[in-house]
Amino acid sequence: MTEESASGDAVAYRERPSPLLPGAVVWTRLATDGPVDARPVLPDGCMDLLWTEGRLFVAGPDTHAYDPGGASGRYVGVRFYPGTAPAFLGVPADELRDRRVELADLWTGAEARRLVERVDAAPDPMAALESLAAERASGVQAPDPLIAHVVRSLAAGRSVAATAAAAGVNARLLHRRSLPAFGYGPKTLGRVLRLQRALALARAGTPYAATAAAAGFADQAHLARDVKELTGLPLTALLGGGSGGSGGSGS
C-alpha cells in the first residue's frame, strides 16, 4: 500500500529494501504534532505487516485508496512483494482484501502478544519487525513460480491473455490461482501495477500524455479515469501534495 503523505514537517517517512526478505521493503513513518492530514494509501499489489506501539496488524491488498485517518504516532511495516504474504501469514489474500486485521485474529492470541512485546521492547522496532518476519518466512513454502511469473509479466505491461499463454494456463485457471495469492484477479493486479508505473513516470517529470503511453494506457483520458477510480483523486492532486513514500499505516 503506497501512502501519499501530506507535505510539511509533521510526517517523517523512510524505507529500505530488506536484505532478509527477498523483494520486501521495510519502512517507518513517524507522525508528530497531533493529527496529520495524511493522503490516501494507494493500492500497489502488496500486503503489509505493521507495528505501532502495543499492536501488530496486517494491511490486506487494496483495490482502492485507503484513508489512514490522520493518526499520529510511529508505524513500522514490512511490505511484502506481491503474492508472497499469504504463505507468510497462512491466510489467503482474498480473505484480507481491503481490510486491516489484527494479527491476533490470524495467529494465536498468545503468539501475537509475544511478538508485540518483542517489538515494543526493541531499541530499533524497524529491525525487530524485520527480524521476526524473516524468522517466520524461513519456514514457509517457496512462492509458486506461476505467481512470480504473473507479477513479472503484468508489471512489464503484458496483457492477462499474454500472461496466461506464456505460463501455459487458461485465463480461468490464472484467475483462480491469483485470488489467494493477490486478493483479486490478474486484471485488477494489472491495473494496480499500471497505476504504479504511471505514478513513477509522472513523479519523474514525464508529461502526462507520454506517461499514459509509456505506462500502457490508451491515452491521457484513460490514465486520468483510472487514477481517479483507483485513488479517488486526480493525478494532479496526487502529485501536487508530494509523495511521502509507502506504507500501510492506519487502523
Higher pLDDT, 5 or 41: 41
pTM attached to this predicted model:
0.89
Per-residue pLDDT tens digits for 143-168: 899 999 999 999 999 999 999 999 99
What CATH number should be reported for the domain whose range is 12-139? 2.60.120
Domain boundaries, the chain: 12-139, 145-237
The DSSP bridge pattern shows strands 55-59 and 100-102 to be: antiparallel
DSSP run (H or E) holding 155 = helix 145-155
Which residues lie closer than 8 Å to 63 by C-beta, 6 or more apart? 43, 97, 98, 183, 184, 188, 192, 230
How sure is the predictor about 244, in pLDDT bands with cuts at 50, 70 and 90? very low
| Whole-number Å distance between alpha carbons of 163 and 167 | 6
Nearest to 201 by CA among 234, 151, 239: 239
More confident position, 245 or 56: 56
pLDDT at 233 over 60: yes
Mean pLDDT to the nearest integer, 130-137: 96
- C-alpha 197/C-alpha 211 separation (Å) is 9
Whether 12-139 shares its CATH topology with 145-237 is answered no
pLDDT of residue 72: 76
Looking at residues 223-243, what average pLDDT do you find?
Answer: 85
Q: What is the CATH number of domain 145-237?
A: 1.10.10.60
What's the half-sphere exposure (Cβ side, CA atoms, 13 Å) at 236? 1
Q: Tell me what pLDDT residue 19 has.
A: 97
Share of the chain above pLDDT 70, in %: 88
pLDDT reported for residue 38: 65
Question: Which comes out higher in pLDDT, residue 16 or 241?
Answer: 16
pLDDT (0 to 100) of residue 3: 42
> Do residues 126 and 28 touch, judged by C-beta distance below 8 A?
yes
